[in-house]
Chains A and B, each alone.
Chain A
Amino acid sequence: QQPVQSPQAVILREGEDAVINCSSSKALYSVHWYRQKHGEAPVFLMILLKGGEQKGHDKISASFNEKKQQSSLYLTASQLSYSGTYFCGTEGNSGYALNFGKGTSLLVTP
C-alpha cells in the first residue's frame, strides 16, 4: 500500500528548515528516502531500518518510528540544491520491493 506523504509541496527561503512526513497503514520493515530533481532520475538519500533510528546525510536527517509506522525527513539550513521532489519508499513483507509515496515537492528560493 502506498505511504502517505505530507506536505504535498513546500517553498522555503535558503537557510530555512523543513520537515517531510511519511506514514503507512501497514507495519514497516524499513523506510527509504529518495530525491528527484526535475527531469532526472531519483537518487538515494538514506535508508532507516530500526524504530527510532536517526540517520544523517549532510544537513539532511531522518527518523523512523516503527511503532507509529512513520518516518520524517528533516532538512536544516536548506540550500538551493535541496530543491526537488522527495519520495519515501516503504518496505513491508514483500522483500525489497518498495511502495513509494506521491512525493513532496520542495522549492528553495534565494
Chain B
Amino acid sequence: GAGVSQSPSNKVTEKGKDVELRCDPISGHTALYWYRQSLGQGLEFLIYFQGNSAPDKSGLPSDRFSAERTGGSVSTLTIQRTQQEDSAVYLCASSFTGYEQYFGPGTRLTVT
C-alpha cells in the first residue's frame, strides 16, 4: 500500500517568508509525528498528534512553528518568518500502534 508522502520534496525560500509543509500519513494510522533533521544531527522531535487528543507540542523550537492535523489525516507544518537556522530536512512519520513509525521521504527546506 501507499506509504507516508510529503510535499514538497524540496523548498527554497527567502528569509522572513512563511512556508507550509504537508504530510499525508498511511491510511488508518492514528499517530502522526513531525521531526527535523539537520546536517550531522539526529532526529529532533517537533510535534505529535494522536487521534483526537490535544497534540504534544513540546518539541516545537519557537512560536514561529505550528502544525495542524485536519480530520485525523493530513497534517501541515507551518513555519512563519523563516530563519536560516530553520534549514533542515523535515520528516513526517505515522504509526498505528504507537510503536513502529513509518517515515516519509522528507521535505528539504533551504532558507536563503
Contact = CB atoms under 8 A, between A and B. Distances in A.
Interface stretch (B66-74, B80-88, B100-108): B100-108
Contact of B45 (A32, A99, A103): A99
Interface residues of B, number: 26
B44 to A, nearest CB: 8
A41 B50 contact: no
Interface string A1-26: 01000000000000000000000000
B42 A97 contact: no
Nearest to B102: A44
Interface string B55-79: 0101100000000000000000000
A89 interface: yes
A87 B59 CA distance: 18
* Size category of the binding interface on chain A: 20 to 34
A97 B41 contact: no
A64 interface: no
Interface in A56-89: 87, 89
A97 B59 contact: yes
18 contacts: A2-B42, A41-B91, A41-B103, A41-B106, A42-B43, A47-B100, A87-B42, A94-B58, A95-B56, A96-B50, A96-B95, A97-B33, A97-B58, A98-B33, A98-B45, A100-B44, A100-B45, A102-B42
Given A97-B48, A100-B42, A102-B40, 11 more contacts: A32-B99, A44-B101, A87-B42, A94-B56, A95-B48, A96-B48, A96-B95, A98-B43, A98-B101, A100-B35, A103-B42
Interface of A: 2, 30, 32, 34, 40-44, 47, 87, 89, 94-103
**4 A-B pairs closest in CB distance:** A41-B103, A100-B43, A96-B98, A102-B42
